[in-house]
Amino acid sequence: MANIVIVGTQWGDEGKGKIVDLLAADADVVVRFQGGNNAGHTMVVDGEQFISHLIPSGILQKKTCVIGNGVVVDPAVLIEEIDYLESKGMEAGPDILKISDRAHVIMPYHKLIDHGREKMKGAKKIGTTGRGIGPSYEDKATRRGIRFVDFVDPETFKERLQTIVPEKNFYLEKFLGIETVDLESVLNQYTRFANRLKPYVANVSMVLQKAGIDGKQILFEGAQGTHLDIDHGTYPFVTSSNTTSGNACCGSGVGPKDIHGVLGIVKAYTTRVGAGPFTAELHDDIGDQIQRNGAEFGATTGRRRRCGWLDTVILNNAVRLNGLTGLAITKLDVLGELDELKICTGYEHDGQYISNVPANLNQLAACKPIYETLAGWRQDIRTIRRYTDLPLAARQYLARIEALTGVPIQIVSVGPGRDETIVLDNPFSR
């Protein structure tokens, strides 16, 4: 039996959805442990694309899927996803999908606050998705949040709203100068949502404990990436939750001894959506070519992703913070048209060599990348299914990544489809 955590090592969008979907075949339970519907995991099965924002990717493999207490949930979005999956003939009922009774609910005022703050900041905006994620986590921290256990209890939910809405409306009107919410309208709409979702609500910690006792294998699915972590990322250009592997425990209600491996997902190059420093970013035709070939647009926002060379300063930061035991390299095929490749192996700042990610963003923004150059392979590799059949230059590129990180590569993705994958060492087989 093995329980494995999957995390992104960059700024999200690394291809976690595909890898989770792939490994879910060997898992019995798949757990989402942080974030909200600001994440989008894209999977391609038999040529058809599926994008999930809240429901764990394992739903396509008909596995038990769990939304942990560390997630903030927009009930309208969740119901829409359930309905969509069922319209496609896939099971998404309460027998297969569980929501933690301690997960927090995203309310309409959270989304209004999110949009209002970004508008007020103007050019200095952070670039949030506007889906109310941050304001919902704020209310959780200040004990003004509404948990699912409160949400599905009509009297408690009404009492909570009557206390919270006047305060939120004051802030919306007097400070942000935008529309307010109507308490009765919110109560009526969200009561309908609560009635629909009540059968899904459970004590997830106990569900996972029983799965462990029964010898089930659990896959923990992270959202976003390491460098969007609220503590360890490029703050304040981060998300509102802890995206690193340690939060798999806090965000789902399991103990550290129940985690047996951590797989870091690494795009073969680097991308970032929104504002914030990006040392290895490319502002040239090669960056545009990678963006086009990789179809680099956000699955949730549709925003164009900034593209750059693989940055092993960022990657090694993720190795340390997550305790990575393996790597999965994605989108290797996107680099197949390039004559040569570069890997950022360090930073230069004021004549000094830097091997880590500075906390000071002004210092980080002033860093210049130090590159190694490697040969490209100029070949379409999407049909290749054995590592030894990859072009020599592709294998040398992967070997250099292993050497620079000290972490073995377990999976190589050579295309978006589930079958377009080379599995060197399945983490569940250990």
Measure the CA–CA gap between 412 and 328, rounded to whole angstroms.
6
Output the CA angle 415-416-420, nearest 5 degrees: 50
Q: What are the DSSP calls for 191-205, one per residue?
A: HHHHHHHGGGEE-HH
User: 320 vs 222, which has greater pLDDT?
Assistant: 320
Annotated catalytic residue: which of 21, 41, 74, 139?
41
Supply the CATH number for residue 217's domain. Answer: 3.40.440.10
pLDDT (tens digit per residue) in 390-428: 999 999 999 999 999 999 999 999 999 889 999 999 999
CA neighbours closer than 13 Å in the CB half-sphere of residue 341: 28
Return the minimum-mean-pLDDT range out of 14-28, 193-207, 332-346. Answer: 14-28
Query: Does 419 qualify as catalytic in the annotation?
Result: no
Q: 67 with 189, same domain?
A: no
Supply the CATH number for residue 191's domain. Answer: 1.10.300.10
Q: What's the whole-number mean pLDDT along residues 92-107?
A: 97
Which pLDDT belongs to residue 41? 64
Please say which residue of 258, 278, 301 terminates a domain: 258
Query: Does 349 qualify as catalytic in the annotation?
Result: no
Measure the CA–CA gap between 27 and 20, rounded to whole angstroms.
10
Number of structural domains found in the chain: 3
- Which tokens sit at 100? 């933690």
Measure the CA–CA gap between 5 and 403, rounded to whole angstroms.
23
Which pLDDT belongs to residue 64? 95
Q: 188 with 109, same domain?
A: yes
Q: Is the CB of residue 21 less than 8 Å from the CB of residue 60? A: yes
Cis peptide before 236 (omega within 30 of 0): yes
Please say which residue of 258, 278, 308 terminates a domain: 258
Task: Calculate helix-pair angle for 108-121, 154-170, nearest 10 degrees.
Answer: 20
Q: 72 with 93, same domain?
A: yes
Q: In 3D, which of 315, 312, 314, 248 has the Cα closest to residue 6?
A: 248
User: 61 vs 378, which has greater pLDDT?
Assistant: 378
Which pLDDT belongs to residue 311? 98
Which pLDDT belongs to residue 118? 82
The answer to whether the Cα torsion of 299, 300, 302, 304 is positive or negative is: negative
Q: In 3D, which of 29, 96, 106, 36 has the Cα closest to residue 71?
A: 36
pLDDT (tens digit per residue) in 171-199: 999 999 999 999 999 999 999 999 999 99
Q: 214 with 97, same domain?
A: yes
Return the minimum-mean-pLDDT range out of 83-87, 143-147, 222-226. Answer: 83-87
The residue behind tokens 């670039």 is 127
Q: 332 with 412, same domain?
A: yes
351 has pLDDT over 70: yes
Confidence of residue 123 (pLDDT cuts 50, 70, 90): low
Confidence of residue 292 (pLDDT cuts 50, 70, 90): very high
- Report the SS3 class of residue 144: coil
Q: 313 with 400, same domain?
A: yes
Q: Is the pTM of this model over 0.85?
A: yes
Please say which residue of 181, 197, 213 terminates a domain: 197
Which pLDDT belongs to residue 125? 64
Q: 320 with 244, same domain?
A: no
Task: Classify residue 127 as exposed, middle or buried by CB count within 10 Å of its CB (0-12, 13-18, 19+).
Answer: middle
301 has pLDDT over 70: no
Which pLDDT belongs to residue 198? 98
Q: 8 with 55, same domain?
A: yes
Q: 235 with 276, same domain?
A: no
430 has pLDDT over 60: no
Domain that holds residue 149: 104-197
